[in-house]
Structure 1
Amino acid sequence: MEIKQKQVIQSVANALQYISYYHAPDFIKAMANAHEKETHQSAKNAIAQILINSKMAALGQRPMCQDTGIVNIFVEVGMGITWDADLSLDDMINEGVRQAYTNPENPLRASIVEDPLFTRTNTKDNTPAVIHTKIVKGDKLNFIVAAKGCGSENKAKFTVLQPDESLTDWVLKTIPTMGAGWCPPGIIGIGVGGTAEKAMLMAKQSLMDSIDIADIAKKPNPSNIERLRLDLMGKINDLGIGAQGLGGLTTVLDVKIKDYPTHAASQPVAMIPNCAATRHLHFSVDDTGVAELPEVDMSIYPDLEMDYSQYKQVDLSTLTRKQMSDWNIGDTLLLTGTIITGRDAAHLRLKKMLDSGEGLPKDVNFDNKFIYYVGPVDAVGSEVIGPAGPTTATRMDKFTDMMLENTNILGMIGKAERGESTTQSIKKHKASYLIAVGGAAYLISKSIKKAKKIAFEDMGMEAIYELEVKDMPVTVAVDTQGHNIHSIFQNIQVKYN
């Protein structure tokens, strides 16, 4: 069996393009079931947006999420393979990544930085991938190609329990500390045993399995691990965190567990979530050519449309703090007007400018506007902007006082919870924090009618944009009185501590 270099490169590139806009059928079915049974209206709205966004992305063949991920590759190399190649396998894979992320018809956001401790310079093509290779019998290359968003990857947890300590207790105590930045509903992957790095690897690998918890529930004689999976899923969902941390019935769609023999004195445990942009694909490469990828059955999507009757229209050009004082947490709004964007690196540069007395960039005016925490995908064709969903607002907490005290912003738009001190700062300045749905990036981008880079263009997706939006859907998460829709996390943590 001779494998050609170009077959590997093209197969990897095709797979990464495919998973940028196609969810796996098992995920869509699980989300549709979650939507059907959800009774909490805010959570139901969020799940609906994720499903509508997924269908739009599939039809438009554009990324379902602006965070097109760090590439994870699991590859099994058959011992009987011979090669027609000038590159190493890692180099072939990375060339496939490069071609996928720089594809002019569907460019994917370049998020990878090299020299992570110091210059953190963007590699501009999302290389290198994180590659795990295993040598096996046979004469095929078996791939799992995944793109892992950082909102969920940042929530990875690890501990070493005593042999007699309860995994369930640790999971239920730890899940609330992850907040909503991992964009639930999603999958929880758990690795138990081996050593620290083995447990982490198993947790990540478990996320690549299909959603099968409903089938497990029907088994007459489930295994010990299957019973544990069922028990954990029920107890995690009973926490009431729900979609986007808004409360509700479904926080996880499945719980996966892999284990491995370990030292008698140890119980290493890793836990990694997969978000609402769950992206992975399994395929094989042999001597017949480039891998064939699955055809997509669009009939699996539920018939859903945005119900705008539930939303209140807001004209940002005339909005006042007095009008915002009438908002309550959980209110759903449609924003029309001008907003300014800014993420981590932009906030850091703004801080340096303000601290030095230089002031804000000349074309950046936050006065009486909202700042949107977003790093969009580049536009293609007639698009104004590419997919542009929110990033995790919690990372911007350390800059919130600075922004509220120096820019006269009305508030912020992002995803996930804010810390207690940030919530109090929002209250003090009679500002608001609004959330957009993580996992609905393509849907949100359609509400953006104009987009112009106005500062820090050298920072790529971290540049500051001025956006003109029409009917951008958001939910009030922290109101001007300091009420916080995500206080559920604090309540759960108090219970388990």
Structure 2
Amino acid sequence: MTTIQQADFIQSIADALQFISYYHPKDYIQSLAAAYEREQSPAAKDAMAQILYNSRLCAQGHRPICQDTGSVVVFLRIGMGVRWDAELDLAGMINEGVRRAYTDPDNILRASMVSDPLGSRRNTGDNTPAVVHVELVAGDKVEVRLAAKGGGSENKARFTVLNPSASLVDWVLETVPSLGAGWCPPGMLGIGVGGNAEKAMLLAKEALLGPIDIQQLQARGPVNRLEELRLELYAKVNALGIGAQGLGGLTTVLDVKIRDFPTHAASLPVALIPNCAATRHIEFELDGAGPAQLSPPSLDDWPDIRWAPSPEAIRVDLDHLGPDDIAAWRPGDRLLLSGKLLTGRDAAHKRIQDLLAHGEPLPEGVDFSNRFIYYVGPVDPVGDEVVGPAGPTTATRMDRFTEMMLGQTGLIGMIGKAERGPAAIAAIKQHGAVYLMAVGGAAFLVSQAIRGSRLIAFEDLGMEAIREFEVVDMPVTVAVDSRGESIHQSGPAQWRIRVEDMG
């Protein structure tokens, strides 16, 4: 009989979460590097280069790949011959491991979990609790599969119950374009088929824990219907032309993973969950001999890609900028921003909305006149850092506030990731503003451009407080110009045609 010690289990969970915060899986890096070499879209290629270079920096510096260090999901297969020497229950041990990992002073990870989700939405402060799934199996070992899933990709999870005679492929090809780019492609699609509603979702989530092996499958050929579907969906989803970060290009997904389960004769439950560019997962086994031993990858596994700003990039002085200046920018223009900008996300926007609705002034120091706001919730700094990894958050969550911000505060520009919706684009056009896009999945790289940070307002909101950043050559791309033209509409449309022509 195997005995698992509480201390070993907790340490294994904590070590694994730290490990995946700064090490991409080797299969992801190699697959993305191959996609980078194939890519023909300049915008998508630049985005991939930023992601790959950011990954190397994080592996070297042991800092998070993305500022959203995820909610923790744990799949356990516990052998029935296992005995526990523990005072805490299973969830308690896992949550203690999460707590230690996310508050590690050498590599603080952002706490994103909030309690009372329909009420106060108070941050739990240590990213607990984890979501835990347990299966009792034969044997005397504990198998742990662990992931840290970011909100941008998790928010794009989809579920449906198809007619048994309906086409899974058709549903996926209708669904993926509707996801937008908030899930930070290129990544993976996990698809669960069968069982019932909750089983299909679990299958999709578990599918994402598998290795990227679509190239090996292409080389040897499919041996069953699921492998045929994987190849078909991989080709057809990439033919949509969505591309890296939704900018248009040849690669939207690096792999499509499918898991199935028997289902009711009248049903065909289907779930789809994407994984983002900050793919974070690991698996290990405990046999009573101590905590898990995790082997760091070699930096030789990373491609020798050093991202640098394009010579064609336009340098912008944020401190001396007005509507006439931004009117000259066009979708796809690459900019390097220097100067001061403000930050803010959902919670800060809601407070601003409430203040304006009640005729109250904004907090001292919050002046958006002719300024930009960066949608970001950074990681806390360590050592001599000004700020921790500080990549963009999904801009569409701020769409409902865009008219208010542009019409009532004097704001002229916004920075985030992914596309903007019709209402936000209409407001941008009406007010002659712009929306700029930073690369999701390159948070540590972006943070290198931030040379100063000070708290301005709403300190109690933690990572969602309003701060003033001073930046030097912060790389962004014009996503929506002052005329309301969006690269997230034009880019994929152009590349869809190009892919068809190439085929």
- TM-score class, shorter: over 0.9
Indicate if the aligned counterparts of 1:177 and 1:489 stay in contact, CA closer than 8 A: no
Which residue of structure 1 lines up, in the alignment, with residue 400 of structure 2? 398
Indicate if the aligned counterparts of 2:371 and 2:411 stay in contact, CA closer than 8 A: yes
Query: How far off is 1:489 after superposition?
Result: 9.0
Aligned residues: 494
Query: How far off is 1:487 after superposition?
Result: 1.3
Which residue of structure 1 lines up, in the alignment, with residue 85 of structure 2? 84
Indicate if the aligned counterparts of 1:192 and 1:257 stay in contact, CA closer than 8 A: yes
Which residue of structure 1 lines up, in the alignment, with residue 110 of structure 2? 109
Query: How far off is 1:415 after superposition?
Result: 0.4
Q: Distance in 1 between matches of 2:356 and 2:82?
A: 59
Relative to the length of structure 2, the TM-score reads: 0.97
Change (3 A) 1:380 1:478: same
AA at the equivalent of 1:478? V
User: Which aligned pairs between 1:138-157 and structure 2 lie closer than 5 A?
Assistant: 138-157=139-158
Which residue of structure 2 lines up, in the alignment, with residue 271 of structure 1? 272
Alignment partner of 1:283 is 2:281: no
Which residue of structure 1 lines up, in the alignment, with residue 252 of structure 2? 251
The farther-off stretch of 217-226 and 38-47 is 217-226
Deviation string 1:263-290 (CA, Å, 9 cap, x unpaired) is 0010000000000000000101121111
Which residue of structure 1 lines up, in the alignment, with residue 481 of structure 2? 479
Alignment partner of 1:353 is 2:355: yes
Q: Which runs of 5+ in 1 are unaligned?
A: none
SS at match of 2:320: coil
Query: How far off is 1:221 after superposition?
Result: 4.7
Q: Distance in 2 between matches of 1:301 and 1:455?
A: 40
Indicate if the aligned counterparts of 2:248 and 2:491 stay in contact, CA closer than 8 A: no
Indicate if the aligned counterparts of 1:152 and 1:273 stay in contact, CA closer than 8 A: yes
Q: Distance in 2 between matches of 1:30 and 1:225?
A: 21
Query: How far off is 1:294 after superposition?
Result: 2.1
Indicate if the aligned counterparts of 2:345 and 2:464 stay in contact, CA closer than 8 A: yes
Which residue of structure 2 lines up, in the alignment, with residue 314 of structure 1? 316
Deviation string 1:152-194 (CA, Å, 9 cap, x unpaired) is 0000000000000000000000001100000000000000000
AA at the equivalent of 2:354? K
Q: Distance in 2 between matches of 1:275 and 1:88?
A: 32
Q: Distance in 2 between matches of 1:307 and 1:415?
A: 20
Which residue of structure 2 lines up, in the alignment, with residue 443 of structure 1? 445
Q: Distance in 1 between matches of 2:215 and 2:224?
A: 15
Q: Distance in 1 between matches of 2:88 and 2:47?
A: 45
Which residue of structure 1 lines up, in the alignment, with residue 325 of structure 2? 323
Which residue of structure 1 lines up, in the alignment, with residue 170 of structure 2? 169
Indicate if the aligned counterparts of 1:244 and 1:438 stay in contact, CA closer than 8 A: yes
C-alpha RMSD of the superposition: 1.4
Query: How far off is 1:222 after superposition?
Result: 2.6
Which residue of structure 1 lines up, in the alignment, with residue 501 of structure 2? none
SS at match of 1:201: helix
Query: How far off is 1:315 after superposition?
Result: 1.0
Which residue of structure 2 lines up, in the alignment, with residue 409 of structure 1? 411
Query: How far off is 1:365 after superposition?
Result: 1.4
SS at match of 1:310: coil
Which residue of structure 1 lines up, in the alignment, with residue 126 of structure 2? 125
Q: Distance in 1 between matches of 2:104 and 2:426?
A: 45
Which residue of structure 2 lines up, in the alignment, with residue 362 of structure 1? 364
Indicate if the aligned counterparts of 2:194 and 2:200 stay in contact, CA closer than 8 A: yes
Indicate if the aligned counterparts of 1:65 and 1:277 stay in contact, CA closer than 8 A: yes
Q: Distance in 1 between matches of 2:416 and 2:474?
A: 13
Indicate if the aligned counterparts of 1:447 and 1:469 stay in contact, CA closer than 8 A: yes
Indicate if the aligned counterparts of 1:216 and 1:222 stay in contact, CA closer than 8 A: no
Indicate if the aligned counterparts of 1:375 and 1:388 stay in contact, CA closer than 8 A: yes
Q: Distance in 2 between matches of 1:367 and 1:301?
A: 43
Query: How far off is 1:302 after superposition?
Result: 1.3
Deviation string 1:406-454 (CA, Å, 9 cap, x unpaired) is 1111110000111112111101111100000000000000000000111
Q: Distance in 2 between matches of 1:74 and 1:236?
A: 28
Q: Distance in 1 between matches of 2:314 and 2:490?
A: 25
SS at match of 2:338: strand
Q: Distance in 2 between matches of 1:237 and 1:294?
A: 33
Query: How far off is 1:224 after superposition?
Result: 1.1
Query: How far off is 1:303 after superposition?
Result: 1.4
SS at match of 2:487: coil
Q: Distance in 1 between matches of 2:202 and 2:441?
A: 25
Taking only the aligned residue pairs, the percentage that are identical comes to 59
Which residue of structure 1 lines up, in the alignment, with residue 223 of structure 2? 222
Q: Distance in 1 between matches of 2:279 and 2:19?
A: 12
Query: How far off is 1:297 after superposition?
Result: 1.1
Q: Distance in 1 between matches of 2:227 and 2:492?
A: 30
Deviation string 1:193-231 (CA, Å, 9 cap, x unpaired) is 000000000000000000000011111453211111000
Q: Distance in 2 between matches of 1:20 and 1:311?
A: 31
Indicate if the aligned counterparts of 2:241 and 2:492 stay in contact, CA closer than 8 A: no
